[in-house]
Amino acid sequence: MILINEARSGKGRFMEKVNVQKIIDIVGENNVKSDPGELLVYGADSSVHEAPAWIVVRPENARQVQAIVKYANAGKIPVVTRGSGSGMSGQAVPVKGGIVLDMKRMNRILEINLPDVYCRVEAGVVDDDLNRALKPYGMFYPVAPASSRVATIGGEIANNASGVRSVKYGAVRDSVLGMKVVMANGDLVDLGCLTRVEASGYQLDRLMVGSEGTLGIIVEATLKFQPLPKFRCMGVANFDKLEQAGDAIAEIMESGCQPSLLELMDNVAITAVNKTMDMGLPDVEAILMFEADGMVKEAVDFEIEKMKAVCEKHEGSGIELSYDAKERTRLFAGRKKLFPALSMYKELLACTSLADDMAVPYSKMAETARKIHDIAKKNHVIMTAYGHCGSGCMHTKILMEPNRQDQWEDARNAVAELYEYVNSVGGTTSAEHGIGLSKAPAFKIEKAASLPYMHAIKKALDPNNILNPGKLQDAPDDWVKATRLRYQVN
Amino acid sequence: MPMEFNRMKKWQDKLHVCIRCGYCFEFCHIFKVTGWESDTPRGKLIMLHGMMNGYLNPSEETAEKIFECYMCKRCDAACSAKVKVTELFTDAKADFVDAGFKALGTVSRTDPDKCSRCRICILACKHEARVYDAEKDEIVVDRVKCQSCGTCVAACPSGAAYSREGYGLSQKELRESVKQFLEGVSS
């Protein structure tokens, strides 16, 4: 076992490669850390992976980022850009070591332009903070990942994040107008524009969306925002059969409805919240939550009634509707408490972020949920199916005993089998959490035809391979062995 | 320094309950000022996990981080996995003390030169963290019991009880911070 302290010793790569004084000259002594504990903290995120950084650096502005990247490029030192480290697939884990660039100090909202309906923010601004700033103007930034209280805008763009409202408002890529990016050679470039439409050549800003820090370092973003709806109505329906809920989802989307939220919870999820939170949800195979929002009540009524009728047609029962904010919170409480409920499902079981956010066509939703259960049973793990079905996103988590080596074999098999199925029905590996390390094997199979072009783009923009190396198409084929696992495996 | 995890070992199988979502960041006062992830409950749990599993050597730097906590318990309430964060940190502090680490973090202390030995601080302390050591003739603070609430600092008539400053809370530091922010925006 290699102690992190060794990374700092004279024999380690760290001392050979990084001139700490040079870094201090750029960002100041108070913004550099190289204590072993710090290196460990900044080498972890919300995934199963861990790999210590060599040094942690907090830049304050684009000029400092440029200077660090120029220095790193000259010495071929890896640079791993980090927001809050809330990614679930190991995107921010410095698998090849190097400089971890913590962007949280660059957290200024630079401009809110109401006539032109855009805002400019630095990459380290937290999603909820931006929404707090927009609210007084009656506006909101709609991406809303579950981690919005901690996720930074830069991280959201780099992972093309989305959340419960993606069914109506889309993912980050639908909100980005432009950005400033520090390229691998240290150049600062302006990408995109301030307008809603642009047909001026290659859309390089779009290329940066979902690039996971491998093509450039986003230092500033121009985002469009939306007016806050005046009315919101939420509904809940219970289904005895998972297939009935699946059919209802497909028909709601097919019927031309515009839900602002459409969420599914399966029986494992229902059991989890009932068991650990005493929620008293009905013991059915599936619960569907649906919501409509808008400026005119009649329009919201129209949408919600239509969705209710579809649920009734597919034998949805116990349907409740409410415009009241408190009631809406009550109706959504089960879904909201699912995450902690899964963590506490059973002693010794860990809730791991694996195969966590595939997307499949609407018509395959119910079948995917069934498949998840079958694969879990076959591979001796517990998996649940829930998610933003309105945008085709199905979440799961693998509950397993992380200390047992054989359970990691089970998890590896379960993940591979599930993605084989997702691929066979035309789905995609990641809907909103990104690829990083743990989803890379499946991603490489799904995108086999375009991998050579991805490699070519990476080579052209980052010839020395310094920007978040070893991720996406360059990640190892075996995610279990890609890094040390965050759990103690016996 | 070698370290036994006599109290911490009961958490060994529970450290994995933290899913490392980072939702505690927003609720941690210390992180909101310093901005370092190692000051967050998640960061501290990662370090403790590293030490207990043998890939991070316990050090004064790490101990200092664990002792830096105002025990406000906002992280306990915010934790999406319901980890008993402050209870866990209290056990970790006790293990650090037993191993001989000197870290103080946010623990209150007393300047013996200013102290009049009136012992008001002992009466004021809700956590029974302060005692008078007759042999040394000074006030001794129990680093595990102290919850850094600051009551002793407020109660001390001699200005002898104090706790660590430097979290940017004074008016002067606040003005400086605002000035730096505005200069950054205009640059």
- Indicate whether B141 and B65 sit together in one domain: no
For the stretch A390-416, pLDDT in tens is: 899 999 999 999 999 999 999 999 999
Domain count, chain B: 2
Cβ–Cβ under 8 Å, residues A432 and A171: yes
Statement to judge: residues B80 and B18 lie in one domain: yes
Local confidence band at A5 (pLDDT 50, 70, 90 cut-offs) = very low
Task: Give yes or no: residues B121 and B158 share one domain.
Answer: yes
Is the predicted pLDDT of residue A2 greater than 50, yes or no? no
Task: Name the band, by pLDDT with cuts 50, 70 and 90, for residue A1.
Answer: very low
Mean pLDDT, chain B, integer? 90
User: Any chain B CB within 8 A of the CB of A60?
Assistant: yes
Taking only the tens place, the pLDDT of each residue in B78-106 is 888 889 999 999 999 999 999 999 999 99
Same domain for B130 and B57: no
Task: Note whether B89 and B119 are same-domain residues.
Answer: no
A370 half-sphere exposure, CB direction, 13 A CA radius: 10
Our CA-based measurement puts residue A466 at a distance from the nearest CA of chain B, in whole angstroms, of 24
Nearest to B65 among A37, A104, A126 (CB): A37
- Residues near B172 by beta carbon (within 8 Å), at least 6 away in sequence: none
Q: Rounded distance, CA A307 to CA A290, Å?
A: 8
Enclosing domain of residue B138 = 109-162
**Amino acid type, B181:** F
Q: Is B74 domain-assigned?
A: yes
N- to C-terminal Cα separation, chain B: 47
Say whether both B36 and B77 belong to one domain. Answer: yes
User: CA-CA-CA-CA torsion for B163, B164, B167, B170, nearest 10 degrees?
Assistant: 60
Question: Which residue shows structure tokens 């904010």?
Answer: A325
Q: Is B24:B78 a contact under the CB 8 Å cutoff?
A: yes
Q: Among the three residues B47, B69, B98, which one is the final residue of a domain in this structure?
A: B98
Contact of A448 with A364, CB cutoff 8 Å: no
**B10 interfacial to chain A (CB closer than 8 Å):** no
d(C-alpha B160, C-alpha B166), whole Å: 18
Q: Which of B26, B56, B80 sits opposite A40 (nearest CB)?
A: B56
Question: Which residues in chain A have Cβ-Cβ distances shorter than 8 Å to B47?
Answer: 37, 40-41
CATH number 3.40.50.80 given to A231-341: no
> Measured between alpha carbons, how far is A122 from A108 in angstroms, rounded to an integer?
5
For residue A285, how far is the Cα from the chain centroid? 27
Q: Are A383 and A410 in contact (CB under 8 A)?
A: no
Domain with CATH 3.30.70.2190 in chain A: 231-341
pLDDT one-digit tens code per residue, B6-44: 999 999 888 888 999 999 999 998 999 899 999 999 999
B1 at A interface, C-beta within 8 A: no
What's residue A41's pLDDT? 97
Of A85, A147, A149, the CB nearest to B37: A85
B183 touches chain A (CB under 8 A): no
Tokens 């240290």 belong to residue: A186
CATH number at B139 reads 3.30.70.20
User: Quick one: A326 exposed, middle or buried, by C-beta within 10 A (0-12, 13-18, 19+)?
Assistant: exposed
- CB of A35 within 8 Å of a chain B CB? The answer is yes
Residue A147 sits at the chain B interface (C-beta within 8 Å): yes
Q: How confident is the model at residue A336 (pLDDT cuts 50, 70, 90)?
A: confident
Q: For residue B3, is it within any domain? A: no
Q: How far, in Å, CA of A286 to CA of A246, rounded?
A: 9
Domain presence at residue B2? no
Structure-token pair, residue B52: 């207990």
Residue A403, Cα to own-chain centre: how many angstroms? Answer: 26
3-state secondary structure of A318: strand
Residues B19 and B93 in one domain: yes
Residue range(s) of every CATH 3.30.465.10 domain in chain A: 107-227
Residue A295, CB-side half-sphere exposure with 13 Å CA sphere? 5
Nearest 5 degrees, angle CA A147-CA A150-CA A151?
Answer: 70
Least Cα distance to A165 among A134, A133, A198, A127 occurs for: A127
Question: Tokens standing for A4?
Answer: 């992190």
Angstroms from A404 CA to nearest CA on chain B: 12
CATH fold of A107-227, please?
3.30.465
What is the ipTM, given to two decimal places?
0.92
